[in-house]
Amino acid sequence: MAKLTLQEQLLKAGLVTSKKAAKVERTAKKSRVQAREARAAVEENKKAQLERDKQLSEQQNKRRWRKNIKLR
């Protein structure tokens, strides 16, 4: 005999309605989607920050190089 999921067990026991179970499933799906979107946004922000840091580092290196040239 196949094991029933908790949701199926609750439905079978009459402790929840199918409408309530469907609502819980939709809510769970929404939270998974939101978590996925949040992770994607964090990753995008990290990439943007790395690019800004790289550009700033290049600018600083150019300034130092120019300063060294002037001192010679």
Phi first, then psi: what are they for 5, rounded to 5°? -70, 165
Which pLDDT score, from 0 to 100, does residue 41 have? 98
User: In this structure, is residue 15 part of a structural domain?
Assistant: yes
User: In this structure, is residue 18 part of a structural domain?
Assistant: yes
Which pLDDT score, from 0 to 100, does residue 44 have? 98
User: In this structure, is residue 40 part of a structural domain?
Assistant: yes
User: In this structure, is residue 25 part of a structural domain?
Assistant: yes
Phi first, then psi: what are they for 8, rounded to 5°? -65, -40
Residue-wise DSSP of 11-46:
HHHTSS-HHHHHHHHHHHHHHHHHHHHHHHHHHHHH
- Full-prediction pTM beyond 0.75? no
User: In this structure, is residue 44 part of a structural domain?
Assistant: yes
Which pLDDT score, from 0 to 100, does residue 68 have? 86
Range of the domain at 66: 10-71
User: In this structure, is residue 28 part of a structural domain?
Assistant: yes
In angstroms, the CA 17 to CA 24 distance is 11
Q: Chunk the chain into consecutive blocks of 10 residues (it has 72) and report each block's average pLDDT, rounded to whole numbers.
A: 86 94 95 98 98 97 89 71
